Structure 1
Amino acid sequence: MRKTTLAISLLLILGLVASGCGNKDASSSDNITVKIGLLKNVTHAPAFIALQNGYFQEKFGENAKIDVMAFDNGSDFSTAIATGEIDMGFVGPGPAINQFLKSKNFRIISGSNNGGAVLVARTDAGINAVKDLVGKTIAIPTKGSTNEISLRLLLEQEGIKVTTDSSGAEIITRAPADTLVAMRQKEIDAALVPEPWGTQMVQEGTAQILVDWDKIPPNNGDYPLTLMAANDKFIKDHRDLAKAAIEANLEAIRFIQDDPTKSYELVSNELKELTGKGMDTDLIKSALDHLKLTHEVDADAINLMAKVSFDAGYIKDVKEEELDLSPMLDLSLLEEVTQNK
């Protein structure tokens, strides 16, 4: 039962009567709706698999209900988890960092995957290396995103400034689907996007890979792209369910690794539920081939990303030396799960 619109089961009603509608443990999964947020990106594949295979439902218990909310970008997700609109879910470190420094009321509890983004350039734009991006327009999905952080690091490595004139590179925002159109219409010269959008542009002949996923900074593609987060109230009141969500994430990662072919079909099915349209399995394969599934969280990479966000002006009212993100990470739940505590 994943949607709040589903009727309450007779079993649940009888259970409420029998218990007198009270005396339940605060962490019980009975009579609770867990609100899970995610993005409509293939890079959120473990979340898709956990939903399609029923791992969340299995771990939460049959009397828990699951309400899934899909977001177009990580900024909207981060606002939702900070305001309690959702309990937990999957997001990139860029928007999570920016929101945490404002609200400080949610935590990163596990990793999900690393990498998975590519830098593509329009085939007729005369761009053959990052240094050729001077005077060009580059699209990213949203301001402050993990993709923008990677792009700024790439430009910095080549000594290219971010500007709005021809002396440097201009960064604009376009939703990934709109980036396809913008590339065809020559509105943009390049884009740093999560897969499979880059591969799709390459396949249709409008773009070429400029920097592949395993060369994208930081750490040559081995940086957090999708993380699990939960708000503080959910962790405090339902720590067992937060741990159950981590278990579902780990099981989904194992499933993708063990049966990638079946995973392509399931990811497409979940995309259809979220957006009304599935995706070609070859594109899904490309996306999953271009990321590293992992529950681990690289704190050093997150700190580097925070510095880039700070330098870009997204982090305000905080001094650089005060950028302490250790409180944002609560990996104690992950440790308990992996050690079977």
Structure 2
Amino acid sequence: MKFSRVLIPALAALTLATQVLAAEPFKVGYIRVMDDAQAITAYEGQFYAKHGLDVQLVEFKSGTDLIKAIVGGQLDTGVLGFTNAASWSSRGADLKVVAGAQRGYHALVVRDDAGINTVADLKGHTLASQKEGSTADTVLRGVVLKNAGLQAGDVSVMGVSPQVAVQSLVGKRVDAAFLFEPQASIAQLIAPVKQIYEIGEVWPFPCMVTITSGDTLKNKKDLVWKSLDAQREAIELLQNKPDEAAKLIAGYFIAEPTLKTLNNGEIPREQVISKAIQTQTFSPALTAKDLSRMQEVADIMQARGSLKTKDGQPYDVSAIVDLDWQHDRKL
């Protein structure tokens, strides 16, 4: 009897603790750009819930902050630029790229009165992009400007968020901006600007990927895979029914029901976001070509000094790529 009086409360406490642990949400990090639309859509469309996940969607202002949370164990997965995973893994972080997300749409938008018609015309001008070391910054400097024959210092690059970049165009603080969607579309609706270049048309690459830690993949593999299944369904909705997807996610990008345009007309935010979705190429899978392009990006980072290996040897992208989910799903 005495043993039972001690044992029963202990078992009850253990059961309660197990229930609490089981109820712990699966945390997915995202950045408020169209490149992360599959994570937002999977959440708002109840795809995570459909696959048995209690997901907490956590917003971050930058890929650097997001990757820190994954490394620190505060997040289970995140949708962000591959460059973050490469940079941190080169310093010893145990990270894994487990799926694709979005292929690199980055538009070069310029003010109508700036006299810029080609990338080469940016010389001597000020351009807003993302922070140094980001995926956008890496391809801007290592591909876009380089291929146009521009050297470091030819263009003054201001590293800011996409939202601030749009505001800077409107306020005439910069002459051009290198933008994700939906900011590229929004800028062209609210400011006297035009698009002169889009890197996805010239140099397609996997911009955003799904990343987790090696520890999370080992201990929560089934949950990680369920989250990828949910995001795959979200991608199918984005690709096949952009109008329907836009209704789910438009509020994340445009606060008001309508967007006031340059000519004072108003456009429903769902219409703006649907068109922005249709400029994107989402893919849950990573192809051999994608992996090759990721290696090129890593090589650019290493050449620029933003990625360093301990032994000075070339960084090997394959070391952090785990495509078991993709192969199991026969993608």
Per the normalisation by structure 2, the TM-score is 0.85
The equivalent of 1:158 in structure 2 is 148
Q: CA deviation at 1:18?
A: 11
Q: Does 1:58 align with 2:50?
A: yes
Distance 2:302 2:94 in 1: 20
Task: Give per-residue Cα distances to partners, 1:305-333, cap 9 Å, x unaligned.
Answer: 11222233211355664211211111112
The equivalent of 1:119 in structure 2 is 108
Distance 1:318 1:19 in 2: 45
- Which of 75, 87, 91 pairs up with 1:98? 87
- Which of 213, 216, 223 pairs up with 1:234? 216
Q: Give the root-mean-square deviation of aligned CA atoms.
A: 2.5
- Which of 292, 298, 301 pairs up with 1:306? 298
Q: CA deviation at 1:277?
A: 6.3
Which letter does structure 2 place at the counterpart of 1:190? Answer: A
Contact preservation (8 Å) 1:176, 1:197? yes
Task: Give per-residue Cα distances to partners, 1:92-149, cap 9 Å, x unaligned.
Answer: 1122222222233120100011122211112111111011111112111222122112
5+ long unaligned stretches in structure 1 = 1-15
User: What does 1:31-180 align with in structure 2 at a 5 Å threshold?
Assistant: 31-61=23-53, 65-152=54-141, 153-163=143-153, 168-180=154-166
Distance 1:319 1:224 in 2: 27
Over 3 Å counting, the alpha-carbon distance change for 1:329 and 1:172 in structure 2 is same
- Which of 311, 323, 329 pairs up with 2:321? 329
Residue 271 of structure 2: SS of its match in structure 1?
helix
Residue 143 of structure 1: SS of its match in structure 2?
coil
Q: Does 1:267 align with 2:259?
A: no
Task: Give per-residue Cα distances to partners, 1:71-100, cap 9 Å, x unaligned.
Answer: 111111111111112111211112222222
Q: % of aligned pairs identical?
A: 22
- Which of 270, 287, 290 pairs up with 2:276? 287
Q: CA deviation at 1:209?
A: 0.4
Q: Does 1:207 align with 2:193?
A: yes
Over 3 Å counting, the alpha-carbon distance change for 1:285 and 1:23 in structure 2 is closer
Distance 2:301 2:314 in 1: 14
Q: CA deviation at 1:336?
A: 1.6
Distance 1:265 1:20 in 2: 41
The equivalent of 1:4 in structure 2 is none
Residue 208 of structure 2: SS of its match in structure 1?
strand
Task: Give per-residue Cα distances to partners, 1:266-305, cap 9 Å, x unaligned.
Answer: 0124x17xx9667712321232121111112211111111
The equivalent of 1:246 in structure 2 is 228
Over 3 Å counting, the alpha-carbon distance change for 1:231 and 1:60 in structure 2 is farther
Over 3 Å counting, the alpha-carbon distance change for 1:23 and 1:49 in structure 2 is closer
227-236 vs 320-329, which deviates more? Answer: 320-329
Residue 114 of structure 2: SS of its match in structure 1?
coil
The equivalent of 2:5 in structure 1 is none
Residue 91 of structure 2: SS of its match in structure 1?
helix
Q: CA deviation at 1:66?
A: 2.3
Distance 2:215 2:49 in 1: 21
Residue 103 of structure 1: SS of its match in structure 2?
coil
Contact preservation (8 Å) 2:170, 2:191? no
Tell me the number of residue pairs that the alignment of Structure 1 and Structure 2 aligns. Answer: 307
